[in-house]
Structure 1
């Protein structure tokens, strides 16, 4: 049941003189007042995300350039080490483009999941002092990450074109890959943020998990480096599956797609099922914990 907003009539001059306050009464729905409409939640999330995004660069001389600094600085170091020293570029076509895409997309995933962990605690003032649907907060984290990703991808595609890779129809798969990555990250973010309110160990656990995921996913290498006997199990990792498909669609059309790598049966649906299952689990746990979030803060 959607929440209903009711306001008392405006007080007259005598009431104001007596120090009476205008009170806004919110009649909560049966789920603690969190059954707000999708449009309202999206509007709130967009407003919150845009405000955070602007404040992030407030007073900065370079502004949004700092959004590009981290992935490109890391890319520069990795590219020199893995090409000039180790020589991986000899075995992987367009290796520089691939690892740049991999690092940018993994950072996008980690930004949503990692920033969501403490987001409810950080926004404690909104949740405790007024009616504010908690789900809007991780949604805003996701929107902010998408804004950062959009800026970064502009620079990435300039680098891609400079390396002689030109647009083709397969590039249309990129929005689908980003959508699935966003759904997966939001699922993880909702799960972790709702649990962090009660269990503060979630933050260090996530930091360790994120490091493991980085090296367990084909960010600095390609999935074909994994022994063939383990590849199908390895590609059940949604990050590995998405990056493998990205390599095929945007970087090297001759590289195996996820369907070819896992087989033409239903096995390629396993990482998709994990993505959707993670989102469903995160949403369910978040909604279950929502009525108690303000009490536990």
Structure 2
């Protein structure tokens, strides 16, 4: 499989150089520099917290919902940064592709790595915020490792598709921005699943809340909240009383990854000509 070519010495060196360069240039001429990688999600969290938690009273029955809100925003931002960065990665590195022969997968993976670095920095802030708010961390918090791996798999799957499609369809950028915005509100990030049950009633509420967990990002975020913050956060495992349905989000992520790799491989032969 061509993706294994990234483990060659040349591609690995190029990948590290891309990630380092992107991280250095991102806030190079800003006054606060790298602090923005932490400040941006914190600013978004502050706005969401004041509007939805303090004013609208979302999640007032959920333990440490403010911590869950920050964690959800952090994980969602990682997905957005990775997928959006992957979408424009091929086009942005067009000149490099025409000059150097290397695995095209490197440009998408470099976008994922950059997003992952920011996620790591922000996750430390989440843990500090959790401890300040009295969250008791247990061994179950280590589940963040496989959940982060699932987040990477899902983000790369989406990123490979977007990166290949954007070469031919530049209108994809504004369309993806709308999709991302809609996805943010369709995912239980700023509101708890219990609110869905309350608002839709006892007939449709429980079913809709369960169906929402079939979204890989919803499953990942809810699992993270469950294992790190409080087991009162509902998760998909056991919700449907059928193990096959419980594995749908994970299966979708894996299928999306291999589908994205296949599509990206097929289109990559013409990248240098198109960009």
Question: What are the superposed Cα offsets for residues 57-105 of structure 1, whole Å, 9 maximum, x if unpaired?
Answer: 4354432211011110011111111222111242221110011000010
Counterpart position of 1:230: 208
3-state SS of 1:285 partner: helix
Correspondence 1:285 to 2:263 = yes
3-state SS of 1:118 partner: helix
Correspondence 1:294 to 2:272 = yes
Q: Which has the higher contact order (CA 8 A, sep 6+)?
A: 2
Question: What are the superposed Cα offsets for residues 161-191 of structure 1, whole Å, 9 maximum, x if unpaired?
Answer: 0001122011011111111011101111110
1:167/1:35 CA distance change after superposition, 3 Å: closer
Counterpart position of 1:188: 158
Aligned equivalents of 1:263, 1:35: Cα separation in 2: 38
Alignment of 1:234-253 (within 5 A): 234-253=212-231
1:78 to 48, 64, 70: 48
CA contact (8 A) 1:231 1:261 kept: no
Counterpart position of 1:13: none
Question: What are the superposed Cα offsets for residues 191-248 of structure 1, whole Å, 9 maximum, x if unpaired?
Answer: 0111111111221221111111101111101233331122332211101111121121
Correspondence 1:204 to 2:174 = yes
Aligned equivalents of 1:76, 1:205: Cα separation in 2: 27
**Runs of at least 5 residues in structure 2 that lack an aligned partner in the other structure:** 197-204
1:110 to 71, 74, 80: 80
Aligned equivalents of 2:4, 2:215: Cα separation in 1: 33
1:263/1:247 CA distance change after superposition, 3 Å: farther
Paired positions, count = 266
After TM superposition, the structure 1 stretch with the greater mean CA deviation from structure 2, 55-64 or 82-91, is: 55-64
Correspondence 1:273 to 2:251 = yes
Aligned equivalents of 2:193, 2:258: Cα separation in 1: 27
Aligned equivalents of 1:84, 1:59: Cα separation in 2: 35
Shift of 1:157: 1.1
Shift of 1:35: 6.8
1:220/1:174 CA distance change after superposition, 3 Å: same
1:35/1:97 CA distance change after superposition, 3 Å: closer
Q: Which has the larger radius of gyration?
A: 1
Counterpart position of 1:263: 241
Aligned equivalents of 2:214, 2:101: Cα separation in 1: 40
3-state SS of 2:51 partner: helix
Question: What are the superposed Cα offsets for residues 149-170 of structure 1, whole Å, 9 maximum, x if unpaired?
Answer: 1111111111110001122011
1:42/1:225 CA distance change after superposition, 3 Å: farther
Counterpart position of 1:178: 148
3-state SS of 1:262 partner: coil
